[in-house]
Structure 1
Amino acid sequence: MKKSILFVLLVSSCILGLEAQEFKVITSVESIVPNGLGRSRIINAMEEKDYKEFTSVQTEEDNTRNKSDRGEIRVKNFEETKLLNFYNLGGIRFQNIAANDAIITSMINTMISDGWELAFVTSAVESEAGKGDGQGIFIRRYIFKR
């Protein structure tokens, strides 16, 4: 009897473990453009896309392009949460960084309370870095799973 109960529990846990996972990516973009001229936001797509619709196979024999229009890739339904820019007229603004951290923390906590788990965070900086560089963004992608 104990063996059959143990077997049922083992099979049940295996079945539950095979459940598909769902992922969600939310992106924050923080401007590093001086004088507060940039735009900083958290972007959350509110619709799904199937990457296969926009994928083509390139071979030496057949160099065909996907026939879909690039405009079809665009997501028109998304949330846009305002963030503050890193810089203002006086230079780097630490209060803005702290405010952005508070908003991003709130977003993460909301996602977790909605059943998501923060799986990964990736970040990058894009800057022209040439003479008189006044362009740039700091981007982070938050990858959630459930």
Structure 2
Amino acid sequence: MKNLLIITVVCLFSFFETSAQVEYKVITSVESIVPNGLGRSRIISAEAERNYEDFTSEQTEEDNTRNKSKRKDIRVKDFEETKLLNFYNLGGIRFQNIAANDAIISSKLSAMANDGWELLFVTSAVESDSGKDDGQGIFITRYVFKKQATQD
């Protein structure tokens, strides 16, 4: 009887462990590829939370009213901003700046791991200078993390 009780308790705790809540966090690095070092480069991490459902509407054939949520309600003013160096300066591409950014980004990723966040995946994109009259460009990378949510 005692063994059956112990097995039941262990099974219950196992169930609770597997049904634990997970939370996700996205960290974004934006690195300027604007010529002459005129751009801005940063790591951005939102400190505020948003519920996507507050800004979502469902369109149907019978009801196609547009989403009336306000952009000002979506904006986040509480965020962490870490300065990075631009890829270019007046002399052209600056490899030391890229190495410095790698060191800062590695430090951020290590700090996230030390705080219990697991890096799930990384995705990158580039909007590059498209010619003589453009002068615009960014290299953006999103780091998606997850960890077990803490029970309050």
TM-score of the pair, normalised by structure 1:
0.90
2:71 aligned with 1:47, yes or no? no
Give the structure 1 partner of residue 72 of structure 2: 71
What are the residue-to-residue correspondences of 1:3-18 with 2, within 5 Å? 5=6, 8-18=9-19
Segment drifting more, 129-138 vs 48-57: 129-138
Gaps (5+ residues) in structure 1?
A: none
TM-align CA RMSD:
1.8
Shift in Å at residue 2 of structure 1?
6.1
Give the structure 1 partner of residue 100 of structure 2: 99
TM-score of the pair, normalised by structure 2:
0.87
Provide the secondary structure at the position in 2 that maps to 1:62: coil
Give the structure 1 partner of residue 26 of structure 2: 25
Gaps (5+ residues) in structure 2?
A: 148-152
**Matched residue type, 1:50:** N
Shift in Å at residue 59 of structure 1?
2.4
Shift in Å at residue 117 of structure 1?
1.0
> What fraction of aligned residue pairs are identical, expressed as a percent?
69
Structure 1 outlier segments of 4+, above 3 Å:
1-11, 130-133
Distance in 2, Cα, partners of 1:107 & 1:23: 16
Give the structure 2 partner of residue 120 of structure 1: 121
Distance in 2, Cα, partners of 1:90 & 1:130: 18
* Per-residue deviation, residues 18-63 of structure 1 (Å, max 9, x unmatched): 1010100110000000110000000011100111111111223322
**Matched residue type, 1:51:** Y
Shift in Å at residue 3 of structure 1?
6.8
Number of positions where the alignment pairs a residue of Structure 1 with one of Structure 2: 146
